[in-house]
Structure 1
Amino acid sequence: MATKPVSRAEAAKIARRSDTVGAYAGKGWVQAVAFVMLLGFTIMAVLAMRTYALSMPLPDKIVGNDGKTIATQEQILHGQELFQGRGLQQYGSVLGHGAYLGPDYTAEYLRLTTDAAVKEYREQGKQDPRELVKNEWRKENKYDEQTKTITWSAGETKGYQLMLKHYRETLMKGDTSQGLFPDAIKNDEELHDLVAFFGWTAWASAADRPDQPYSYTNNWPSEPNVDNKPTADLMVWSALSLIALIGGTGLMFAIYGRWSRAIGWHAEEAPVLDFRQPDEVRLTPSQKAACLLFATILVLFLLQALVGALTEHYREELTGFFGIDMGQLLPYTVSRTWHLQLSLFWTAGAFLAGGIFIAPLITRREPKKQGLLTYVLIGAVVFVVLGSLLNEWFSQKGLIPKELTGFFSQQWEFLDLPRFFQILLTAGMFIWIVIVWRTLSSRLKGSKKTSLPWLFLFSGLAIPMFYAVGLLAGQRTHVTVAEFWRFWVVHLWVEDFLELFTTVMVAYIFVLLGVVRERIAISIIMMDAVLYSVGGVIGTLHHTYFVGTPSEQMAFGAFFSAAEVIPLTFLTVEAWGFMQLGARQYSNRTKP
């Protein structure tokens, strides 16, 4: 039997009753979300401590077999700064993290130095030269915990000199054939420090962990000269993650088939309501300002598409753009940096604009000066975007004074914007949540903390909070520790909490349109919070297998990363169910 459409008066009555009474999440949902979050972040906290304690050792100095100092910790960290600041992570990679147009510098350093050593031993007539090289790198490399000194063998010391010559011929070229600015590395001092950084990561990739049969980086990258091959842990947890994926998906469908009527979108629970036409809605000052922000987002999206096209063209013609030497002004490393940054800028801007626009629809009013605050926020966003992009260009050009590099040089990939602008962007997002809170405050008073307005605020607050975690990954932070925190932003911020806020916004829009009741929307939000986070929080660790972290991160990362696919499969089924719901409601509304 078709559901009878309700009248406009009945719809208004239902809406008023929802405003007066208000729905909120049941105790079971709250406990489920609390359990998943507490479990996930407790494990992440423990592994954070393990990361600090068991990262591949950063020595006070590296000395050669003759006792002479090759590099100090200060020089290694300066080389790490150069790797970021000159855009090399947008061209190549270290320990597998970065871009893939250029080489992985860890793997290249390891391959070229060990190949040279094998060739030299073979020419000297020594038996089994590869075994000798393997022993040098895996067994004879010494790290003294007491003096915090790494001692390199004669072969490794010669390898370092070889790599100095190699990178002098590539990274100090006076043209744009490498996808970099000409003379990306300015002098021998910078070259020395950069190669020391590469050499340190190569040493850690081959040297065995104390009392373990694998290296600090779990035998990454693969290199037969030093017997870097898949570890037992890697094979076991790869198999177990596959079992978890297949078995978990089957279990999910079994549960869904049994209790599908108790969860998700349901036509019998969703009233068919009338709602105001767009021309009947009057925009508030902050909503009008948000429209300007939406227009800014479109411009940023267009710019991202343009520099993305240039970046992709460079893969075909690295030295130019249809014969024009664009590399003199905008080389591959800059265009890729801007492409990545603009994608994050317009995405974050869309969430800011969406939150500001929807908030007055929830309360049907907004406080004074809200429009002015929104315009100030837009100005701050434009300043951060333009300032950071310009500073990244200066950084890769090598024009940032050394004493200012900590605040104005390019940083880690995806967090490229210099520290000064990263702090401003974080502050801007906290200002945004204050703007949203000012609008929602009238609805928040007297509402339970698990009601829809509070869920809107809490999910929005997670956006600046988890972006701020990226501040723990500074230019001079130990590379292993920096990668751990960097991917809290790249993975957790993007793949968990931005998705959660999207779910809340969409659910609230459906409530305002009368598509679903508030109670159903809250259940969907809480269910999605569990599904996103049950694998998504700990699944962050799949980014840190080979950057010098202890092997248990591989275990947790592999298992929970595979488990992330299970809820996404469920959400796809639910999305199909919602599409059917919308079709049925439209059919019911149009029937006489």
Structure 2
Amino acid sequence: MVSRTWVQAAALVVLFGFTVLGFLAFRTYETGPPIADRVVSQGGQVLFTGADVTKGQQIFLSDGLMENGSIFGHGAYLGPDFTADYLHRAAQIATREYGGSTSDTARQRVIQDFKTNRYDPASKTLTYTAAQAVAYKELIGYYGNYFGADSAVKGLRPHAITDPTQIRALTSFFSWSAWAGSALRPDKNYSYTNSWPSEPLVGNQPPANVLVWSVLSLIALLAGIGALFAAFGRWGDRFGWKGRQADSISFRLPGDVVLTPAQRACAYFFLVVGLLFFIQVMVGAASEHYHVDIASFFGFDLARWLPYNLVRTWHVQLSIFWTATSFLAAGIFLTPMIAGREPRRQHWLAYGLLGALALVVFGSMAGEYLDIHGLLSGTLHAFGMQGFEYIDLGRFWQILLTVGMVIWVVILYRGLRSRLRNESRGNMPWMFFFTALAIP
């Protein structure tokens, strides 16, 4: 039995935590960098539009570039952080336009160009200086070569992106992210990304408060964990944290336990877990091999069929899938032990859930393969990949996975409901069910 005080305390902690998360999410969207309707040169020429930025982001995600590089200085893998890359190259071009790196005046003008926020909220227009406009135009050609014929040497499939319209949109997205990372917020001394990524050529370095609060948050985390363990060790009996029923726990030998049909079905779940784990290890080994020999896989042109961003995507997704499969199997296996009984035909529901899970896993992997190879377009992207790391699977598969989780909760409730009727909501059977509810 869990006391009502602990249930109330846990509810308050959850409520407080989600309130803070909700507030931070609201502030993130409210104060995020604006996407200008038009980006123009000082002469009035339209360089790109907000639609180009959005399209470039979609290309960046659907081609799995977040699994090859990154954006906004998040740190890269085999490819670069494209915000930092664009910012550095654009600063070099601007420095050249102003007289070269040996000129102090040129360095100061470059910093002024990139730090000055020329976005007009009224007209939703962002103005680039002449040097920034030159840099943008030159970098369209650079990224055309980067994602073009020789892209296989960067871990991407050969001829990954060759459409000039897509290259221009991608460059627009990179350019916008570089502007957001360097231009100062109105009335602030830091950019929309806290002057990150760092770039000395444009005077970009994180302000002191970012470093201070980062260190303080780490100290608070470690101190909080230490305080919790100290309280558990010192006052655990008084708080009721230590099991008062430990002396009454007994164990039965595996041979004395009679498995229900649904529990026997869990064997197939764990067989799938083993298969997914094996595949994850194999694609993980392939992704690591790219770091050693990016040009070939023991003489085989692996990038043509399984480029780095694809095997990296699969590696991350499979870690989630086999973990989720284990959770599902554990829940189904433990339910009869908690309830003391199993409803009829429960095992058929378990088999159906396993089939649906296999459909999501292998269907999403196939969709990611097709999308990264440029074989999906338009609404079919819903079956491909979203491109957000750890949520790479397409929206269709994500919805299907969520539906499967809900069905799993129904399976658990079906097995537990007779026990739940006679239990307090603070007792372990309800805690088990509430935990399951939190997963979908």
TM-score (norm 2): 0.95
Q: Post-superposition shift, 1:66?
A: 2.0
Residue matched to 2:77: 100
Counterparts in 2 of 1:121-520, with a 5 A limit? 121-123=98-100, 127-139=104-116, 141-174=117-150, 176-241=152-217, 243-245=219-221, 247-248=223-224, 251-252=227-228, 255-256=231-232, 258-263=234-239, 269-464=245-440
SS in 1 for 2:98: helix
Q: Post-superposition shift, 1:232?
A: 2.6
Matched, 1:40 2:17: yes
SS in 2 for 1:379: helix
Question: Do the aligned residues in 2 keep the contact of 1:63 with 1:150 (CA within 8 Å)?
Answer: yes
Q: Following the alignment from structure 1 to structure 2, what is the Cα–Cα distance between the partners of residues 253 and 356?
A: 32
Structure 2: which amino acid aligns with 1:330?
A: L
Structure 1: which amino acid aligns with 2:331?
A: G
Counterparts in 2 of 1:52-131, with a 5 A limit? 52-97=29-74, 99-123=76-100, 127-131=104-108
Q: Post-superposition shift, 1:60?
A: 1.8
Q: Following the alignment from structure 1 to structure 2, what is the Cα–Cα distance between the partners of residues 257 and 456?
A: 25
Structure 1: which amino acid aligns with 2:265?
A: A
Question: Do the aligned residues in 1 keep the contact of 2:101 with 2:107 (CA within 8 Å)?
Answer: no
Q: Post-superposition shift, 1:431?
A: 0.6
Question: Do the aligned residues in 2 keep the contact of 1:76 with 1:196 (CA within 8 Å)?
Answer: yes
Q: Following the alignment from structure 2 to structure 1, what is the Cα–Cα distance between the partners of residues 222 and 365?
A: 44
Structure 2: which amino acid aligns with 1:399?
A: L
Q: Post-superposition shift, 1:351?
A: 0.2
Structure 1: which amino acid aligns with 2:89?
A: L
Question: Do the aligned residues in 2 keep the contact of 1:352 with 1:432 (CA within 8 Å)?
Answer: yes
Question: Do the aligned residues in 2 keep the contact of 1:62 with 1:149 (CA within 8 Å)?
Answer: yes
Structure 2: which amino acid aligns with 1:116?
A: I
Q: Following the alignment from structure 1 to structure 2, what is the Cα–Cα distance between the partners of residues 302 and 194?
A: 35
Q: Post-superposition shift, 1:337?
A: 0.8
SS in 2 for 1:97: coil
Deviation digits for residues 53-92 of structure 1 (CA, Å, limit 9, x no counterpart): 1111122222222212222222211111111111211111
Structure 1: which amino acid aligns with 2:261?
A: P
Q: Post-superposition shift, 1:280?
A: 2.3
Question: Which 5+ residue runs of structure 1 have no aligned equivalent?
Answer: 1-23, 465-592
Deviation digits for residues 341-395 of structure 1 (CA, Å, limit 9, x no counterpart): 1111000100000000110111121112211111111111111111110110111
Question: Do the aligned residues in 2 keep the contact of 1:391 with 1:410 (CA within 8 Å)?
Answer: no
Question: Do the aligned residues in 1 keep the contact of 2:419 with 2:429 (CA within 8 Å)?
Answer: yes
Question: Do the aligned residues in 2 keep the contact of 1:90 with 1:98 (CA within 8 Å)?
Answer: no
Counterparts in 2 of 1:532-547, with a 5 A limit? none
Q: Post-superposition shift, 1:320?
A: 1.4
SS in 2 for 1:94: coil
Q: Following the alignment from structure 2 to structure 1, what is the Cα–Cα distance between the partners of residues 102 and 252?
A: 88
Q: 1:275 to 1:409 in 2, by over 3 A?
A: closer
Residue matched to 1:497: none
Question: Do the aligned residues in 2 keep the contact of 1:56 with 1:216 (CA within 8 Å)?
Answer: yes
Deviation digits for residues 105-144 of structure 1 (CA, Å, limit 9, x no counterpart): 00010001101211231249965211101111111x4111
Structure 2: which amino acid aligns with 1:215?
A: S
Q: 1:269 to 1:439 in 2, by over 3 A?
A: closer
Q: Post-superposition shift, 1:311?
A: 0.8
CA RMSD between the two structures: 2.0
Q: Post-superposition shift, 1:252?
A: 4.3
Question: Do the aligned residues in 2 keep the contact of 1:59 with 1:148 (CA within 8 Å)?
Answer: yes
Structure 1: which amino acid aligns with 2:79?
A: G
Q: Post-superposition shift, 1:327?
A: 1.2
SS in 2 for 1:122: coil
Q: Post-superposition shift, 1:235?
A: 3.0
Name which structure has the greater RCO, CA cutoff 8 Å, separation 6+: 1
Structure 1: which amino acid aligns with 2:22?
A: A
Structure 1: which amino acid aligns with 2:148?
A: M
Q: Following the alignment from structure 1 to structure 2, what is the Cα–Cα distance between the partners of residues 248 and 212?
A: 33
Q: Following the alignment from structure 2 to structure 1, what is the Cα–Cα distance between the partners of residues 421 and 332?
A: 19
Question: Which 5+ residue runs of structure 2 have no aligned equivalent?
Answer: none
Residue matched to 1:28: 5
Q: Following the alignment from structure 1 to structure 2, what is the Cα–Cα distance between the partners of residues 175 and 239?
A: 39
Question: Do the aligned residues in 2 keep the contact of 1:114 with 1:225 (CA within 8 Å)?
Answer: yes
Q: 1:267 to 1:184 in 2, by over 3 A?
A: closer
Q: Post-superposition shift, 1:96?
A: 2.6
SS in 1 for 2:152: coil
Q: Post-superposition shift, 1:163?
A: 1.1
Structure 1: which amino acid aligns with 2:397?
A: F
Q: Following the alignment from structure 2 to structure 1, what is the Cα–Cα distance between the partners of residues 418 and 174?
A: 56
Question: Do the aligned residues in 1 keep the contact of 2:66 with 2:387 (CA within 8 Å)?
Answer: no
Q: Post-superposition shift, 1:255?
A: 3.2
Q: Post-superposition shift, 1:295?
A: 0.6
Question: Do the aligned residues in 2 keep the contact of 1:86 with 1:410 (CA within 8 Å)?
Answer: no
TM-score (norm 1): 0.71
Q: Post-superposition shift, 1:267?
A: 7.8
Q: Following the alignment from structure 2 to structure 1, what is the Cα–Cα distance between the partners of residues 58 and 222?
A: 43
Deviates more, 1:195-204 or 1:394-403: 394-403
Q: Following the alignment from structure 1 to structure 2, what is the Cα–Cα distance between the partners of residues 274 and 127?
A: 78
Q: Following the alignment from structure 2 to structure 1, what is the Cα–Cα distance between the partners of residues 234 and 268?
A: 48
Question: Do the aligned residues in 1 keep the contact of 2:236 with 2:242 (CA within 8 Å)?
Answer: no
Question: Do the aligned residues in 2 keep the contact of 1:395 with 1:410 (CA within 8 Å)?
Answer: no
Q: Following the alignment from structure 1 to structure 2, what is the Cα–Cα distance between the partners of residues 71 and 404?
A: 26
Q: Following the alignment from structure 2 to structure 1, what is the Cα–Cα distance between the partners of residues 152 and 297?
A: 12
Q: Post-superposition shift, 1:230?
A: 2.2
